[in-house]
Structure 1
């Protein structure tokens, strides 16, 4: 491992050792926690596939992924509404609505506006993950 990489790793480890997780716990039972984590990994995979589709200029595929895997489907709405924490529920619903807007923007076939919409959707992810923990 190069010296500078080791320095970075050591610095990161030191920072993490001093880190106190102040995010709000959702206090999920183990089975629901695993289900939620699996769902989040699915969202991340969908984002990866959207980026892949954009790299191939396949806006239709990217739009379908955004709509079907991230959008406000009945399944996703039911899941969001099943949580007791109102702030988490609100953030989850906002994320899925932003994915609906992303899907519509992708249909336009404009890379700049598509990337802006993707950034907005990703901002929802970052904000929620910065606020909550399982």
Structure 2
């Protein structure tokens, strides 16, 4: 009985974390160590920006969410993230997904600004739909590519 219990305890993490031992079939993108560190920092900042945007939306502050989106995720933020340096090492598809994410963030800004002038459920849904397009591109890239 004790052996069965020990095996169950050892197997439990595997059962609750499907895919733990699964092979990672994402395309490996090889970056110089400095650029790898830089890209990971960018991704962490993207997540932080999304979190701050959600907080601003929860507070009803679409202007603040729009500002965060444009300054940290939108098309105008690309130069701040060193896109020109990183792009040289990215497969074309990865670069395209990244560009689409930045475009989606800029479109989110428009949706958020429009919601200020047309408050209501429809405008609110448009804001969240636009935000979903941003995270859709994040997810697509992370599902297809890895850097380590």
Same fold flag (TM > 0.5): yes
Structure-2 residue corresponding to 1:15? 19
Structure-2 residue corresponding to 1:90? 96
1:27 aligns with 2:27: no
- Where 1:108 maps in the other structure, the secondary structure is helix
Alpha-carbon distance change, 103 to 7 in structure 1, aligned in 2, over 3 angstroms: farther
State whether residues 46 and 65 of structure 1, in contact with CA within 8 Å, keep that contact through their aligned partners in structure 2. Answer: yes
- Aligned-residue offset at 1:45: 0.3
**Residue of 36, 49, 58 corresponding to 1:46:** 49
- Aligned-residue offset at 1:31: 1.2
Structure 1: 5+ residue stretches without partners: 1-5
Structure 2: 5+ residue stretches without partners: 1-9, 116-122
The 2-side partners of 1:93 and 1:40 are apart by 14
- Aligned-residue offset at 1:99: 0.6
Q: Deviations over 1:107-134 (max 9, x none)?
A: 1223211111111110000000000001
State whether residues 39 and 86 of structure 2, in contact with CA within 8 Å, keep that contact through their aligned partners in structure 1. Answer: no
TM-score normalised by the chain length of structure 1: 0.86
TM-score normalised by the chain length of structure 2: 0.78
The 2-side partners of 1:8 and 1:54 are apart by 38
Larger-Rg structure: 2
- Aligned-residue offset at 1:49: 0.3
The 2-side partners of 1:81 and 1:62 are apart by 27
The 1-side partners of 2:62 and 2:85 are apart by 28
Aligned length: 128
State whether residues 49 and 69 of structure 2, in contact with CA within 8 Å, keep that contact through their aligned partners in structure 1. Answer: yes
State whether residues 63 and 102 of structure 1, in contact with CA within 8 Å, keep that contact through their aligned partners in structure 2. Answer: yes
